[in-house]
Amino acid sequence: MTGAQDTDGELTISEFGRRAGLSLKALRLYDVSGLLAPARVDPANGFRLYSVSQLERARRISVMRQMDMPLSTITEVLAGTDEEGLIRLDRWWAAEQATTEARRATLEYLRNRLLRSATPGLPPRAVLTRVVPEMKVASIRADTDQQSLIGVLVSSTIEIRAHLGQAGAELPGGSWVIYHGAVTPESEATVEVCVPFTGLVDPAGPIAIRVEAAHTEAYCTITKDECAYPRIMLAYDLLDDWVRRSGRPTTGPVREVYHPGFPVAAGSDPAVDIAQPIEGPAR
């Protein structure tokens, strides 16, 4: 159906799409998904009719789609008040920026290996052990593949810290991510983003509250530059070799422990510990 605004102030799908900057195909998709349903559907002919008041929402959707924002994220941004939408928008953009930086670091690693193939990818460093005390953590579990990993880690950490801050909790600094499976470019696995805190905090939405048991772990420290995939996997290899040679049984999944100063660390600064919980005392 084509045409302009009708006598009741309603817009046909063609006119509404033109004014909102959305195609008819997109409008039909947003109707089916529940993101932007028409004001009403004419019972006589089945034509979708939109109100002028829906143009602002439609234009926001159009702008966000130009940024390649997923429909699920757009739904979250538009779900509440403008203030809540701004928070969700900023979280998504922070995750996008982190993903871009990670891709750039990966490119630099690959370029370096192609230019200097004989150069070792990870300078030697010690594997140490330590005792980690019991502590309360707020966590989010999510399934992700390698491409989406950084965005998931960043957005989850921001969401957890915001929740803890609103609850008045004290944050000692740092965070970690537990890998409950192998995250690869071809397959998803569950990761758990954990932020330690002190105080009384209730779970909310995807955020769980639990106690991380005291344990011993072996770990090696890498710089911020060395966090880029696949270079980071060399640190995992180093840790795996140490655990195998030591004969110490593992007691939990491997994790990446981010130092408190990670966000502002320079590329050459020690920033992350690759850690493996093990049996026995630290030594």
Domain boundaries, the chain: 10-77, 128-278
pTM metric for this prediction: 0.79
Range list of β-strands (E), 81-224: 128-132, 135-144, 175-179, 189-197, 208-212, 215-223
Q: The domain 128-278: what is its CATH number?
A: 3.20.80.10
pLDDT in tens, 167-226: 999 999 999 999 999 998 889 999 999 999 999 999 999 999 999 999 999 999 999 989
- C-alpha 71/C-alpha 60 separation (Å) is 12
- Return the beta strands (E) in the chain as ranges: 10-12, 40-41, 48-51, 128-132, 135-144, 175-179, 189-197, 208-212, 215-223, 255-258, 270-278
In CATH terms, the fold of domain 10-77 is Multidrug-efflux Transporter Regulator; Chain: A; Domain 2 (1.10.1660)
**Of 217, 233, 25, the residue nearest 149 (C-alpha):** 233
Question: For the segment 82-100, what is each residue's pLDDT rounded down to a tens digit?
Answer: 999 999 999 999 989 988 8
List the chain pLDDT tens, one digit each, 283 residues: 334 444 457 899 999 999 999 999 999 999 999 999 999 998 888 889 999 999 999 999 999 999 999 999 999 999 989 999 999 999 999 989 988 888 887 787 778 777 766 555 688 899 999 999 999 999 999 999 988 999 999 999 999 999 999 999 999 999 999 999 999 888 999 999 999 999 999 999 999 999 999 999 999 999 998 988 888 999 999 999 999 999 999 999 999 999 999 989 998 999 999 999 999 887 7
